[in-house]
């Protein structure tokens, strides 16, 4: 599918700047690129994340199956499966899929050519212990695994669980989307300095985001053995692996050309956010009951009430439960928020290469909204021109792509976007 993005279309979209934008790499261009979208793979089951090598070798996860690799010649090798999966070279009997949880994000080691390592985040029962039955706060059910890939790319070995204690939601609660396995985050990626960053979700538990010891509702920065970066600088008493806290469900993290880290965060019907991270900073999400003027909430989680009351307008919802609560002195203000609606922000990356014309250096974000509860539909890819200080955006446009739930966006080594959808496709999106 080839679509010419005309100037008329650009000017019709909200917030478009009237002059050409200087990209973060110093390139100035007024060219609106021509976009081509091609299906690379189809018929997959909820592909959740993609990671590529320089030669086009593509690792990908399927949420309720496992992770595989597609070779440059099109051959596919199923590497490591979940409980009850079939056709994989090996499997983990502790790995499982439940509602939003499953095998989610993955990342390739920057030194893969030498060490053959990849990192995968998944739901697991291996470290549940009694916590998932008797102490809901300590249900450790999300993990990050390290593997070594064979030289022929047909198997993996040396599984090592480098993070074992990301909390998991083990049972249903009285909330919209209240099933077990909610809000996991689980998007690992390597930063430009070579450290591993991991996003985690609040798993429908009010205490999580602001807790100093629970690592749910956080962004972590660790080495490849799971140890904290010595410069993380979280507040006193916090787990040293924490880089930022106070998050709801960060499903996207990426780094601008200057190294600044940005997250895309899925909000509670009344907002989504893009945020530039500040070391030790607070995202401002605090869905605890009996704080901020709130009373009791179902299962001690105020992340939706009063959204359950029919007809409550977004402004009232946002006042009741703000995504970025300004009562926190260490708040990281979002660069962008979604005007009182949540349309389901997922993954984020930054467009690289002159072929992207005036969009070079801008953030591309997957939007998954399905118009639930009166929220406007999403199901698109948006491009944001974020201000250099990370405090605002200059413009946002919709890329001319098919209407899909874009779960992941990854900038490939060939200068194309690789976008995976909940419908089962992985697309290559190019510009010229």
Q: What is the pLDDT of residue 310?
A: 52
In total, the chain counts a number of residues equal to 432
Predicted confidence band at 4 (pLDDT cuts at 50, 70, 90)?
Answer: very low
Q: What is the pLDDT of residue 28?
A: 59
Query: For 240-298, how does the pLDDT look when each residue is reduced to its tens digit (9 = 90+)?
Result: 999 999 999 999 999 999 999 999 999 887 789 999 999 999 999 999 999 888 888 88
Query: For 296-353, how does the pLDDT look when each residue is reduced to its tens digit (9 = 90+)?
Result: 888 889 887 654 555 567 777 778 889 999 999 999 999 999 877 778 899 999 999 9
Residue 28 CB neighbour total at 10 angstroms: 10
Spatial distance between the Cα atoms of 233 and 237, rounded to a whole number of angstroms: 11
Please determine, for residue 27, whether its predicted confidence score (pLDDT) is greater than 70.
no
Spatial distance between the Cα atoms of 342 and 335, rounded to a whole number of angstroms: 15
Q: E strands within 26-155?
A: 34-41, 47-52, 58-62, 66-70, 76-81, 90-91, 103-108, 117-123, 140-149
Q: What is the pLDDT of residue 1?
A: 47
Percent of the chain topping pLDDT 90: 75
Please determine, for residue 235, whether its predicted confidence score (pLDDT) is greater than 80.
yes
Query: For 113-156, how does the pLDDT look when each residue is reduced to its tens digit (9 = 90+)?
Result: 999 999 999 999 999 877 787 667 789 999 999 999 999 999 99
Predicted confidence band at 5 (pLDDT cuts at 50, 70, 90)?
Answer: very low
Which DSSP state fits 153? Answer: S
Q: What is the pLDDT of residue 20?
A: 35
Please determine, for residue 90, whether its predicted confidence score (pLDDT) is greater than 90.
yes
Predicted confidence band at 371 (pLDDT cuts at 50, 70, 90)?
Answer: low
Residue 426, both tokens: 């992985």
**Whole-prediction pTM:** 0.92
Please determine, for residue 14, whether its predicted confidence score (pLDDT) is greater than 50.
no
Segment 231-246 mean pLDDT:
98
Query: For 376-395, how does the pLDDT look when each residue is reduced to its tens digit (9 = 90+)?
Result: 678 999 999 999 999 999 99
Query: For 31-50, how does the pLDDT look when each residue is reduced to its tens digit (9 = 90+)?
Result: 999 999 999 999 999 999 99
Predicted confidence band at 9 (pLDDT cuts at 50, 70, 90)?
Answer: very low
Please determine, for residue 177, whether its predicted confidence score (pLDDT) is greater than 60.
yes
Spatial distance between the Cα atoms of 205 and 197, rounded to a whole number of angstroms: 22
Spatial distance between the Cα atoms of 266 and 253, rounded to a whole number of angstroms: 12
Q: What is the pLDDT of residue 126?
A: 95
Predicted confidence band at 173 (pLDDT cuts at 50, 70, 90)?
Answer: confident
Max Cα-Cα span within the chain: 60
Q: Which residues pair with 367 in a beta bridge?
A: 345, 380
Q: What is the pLDDT of residue 295?
A: 87
Domains parsed from the chain with CATH numbers: 2-431 (2.120.10.30)
């Amino acid at each position: 599918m080839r679509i010419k993005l005309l100037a008329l279309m650009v000017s019709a979209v909200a917030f478009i700047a009237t002059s050409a934008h200087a990209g973060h790499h110093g390139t100035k261009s007024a060219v609106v690129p021509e976009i081509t979208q091609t299906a690379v793979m189809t018929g997959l089951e909820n592909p959740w994340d993609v990671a590529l090598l320089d030669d086009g070798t593509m690792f990908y996860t399927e949420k309720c199956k496992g992770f595989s690799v597609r070779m440059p010649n099109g051959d596919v090798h199923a590497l490591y499966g979940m409980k009850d999966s079939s056709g994989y070279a090996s499997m983990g009997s502790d790995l499982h899929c439940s509602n939003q949880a499953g095998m989610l994000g993955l990342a390739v080691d920057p030194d893969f050519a030498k060490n053959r390592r990849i990192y995968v985040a998944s739901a697991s029962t291996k470290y549940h212990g009694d916590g998932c039955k008797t102490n809901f706060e300590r249900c450790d059910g999300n993990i990050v695994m390290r593997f070594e890939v064979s030289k022929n790319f047909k198997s993996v070995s040396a599984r090592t669980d480098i993070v074992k204690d990301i909390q998991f939601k083990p049972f249903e609660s009285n909330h919209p989307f209240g099933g077990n396995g909610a809000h996991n985050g689980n998007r690992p990626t390597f930063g430009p300095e070579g450290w591993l960053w991991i996003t985690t979700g609040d798993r429908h538990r009010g205490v999580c985001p602001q807790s100093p010891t629970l690592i749910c509702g956080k962004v972590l920065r660790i080495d490849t053995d799971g140890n904290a970066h010595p410069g993380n600088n979280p507040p006193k008493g916090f787990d040293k692996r924490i880089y930022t806290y106070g998050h709801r469900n960060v499903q996207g993290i990426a780094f601008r050309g200057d190294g600044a880290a940005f997250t895309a965060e899925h909000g509670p019907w009344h907002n989504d956010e893009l945020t530039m991270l500040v070391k030790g900073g607070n995202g401002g999400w605090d869905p605890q009951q009996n704080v901020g003027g709130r009373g009791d909430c179902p299962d001690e989680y105020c992340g939706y009430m009063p959204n359950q009351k029919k007809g409550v307008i977004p402004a009232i919802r946002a006042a009741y439960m703000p995504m970025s609560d300004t009562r926190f002195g260490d708040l990281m203000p979002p660069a962008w928020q979604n005007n009182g609606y949540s349309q389901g922000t997922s993954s984020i990356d930054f467009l690289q290469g002159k072929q992207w014309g005036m969009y070079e250096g801008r953030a591309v974000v997957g939007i998954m909204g399905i118009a639930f509860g009166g929220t406007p539909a999403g199901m698109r890819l948006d491009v944001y021109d974020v201000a250099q200080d990370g405090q605002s955006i200059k413009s946002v446009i919709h890329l001319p792509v098919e209407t899909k739930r874009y779960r992941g966006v990854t900038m490939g080594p060939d200068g194309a976007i690789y976008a995976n959808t909940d419908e089962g496709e992985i697309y290559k999106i190019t510009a010229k």
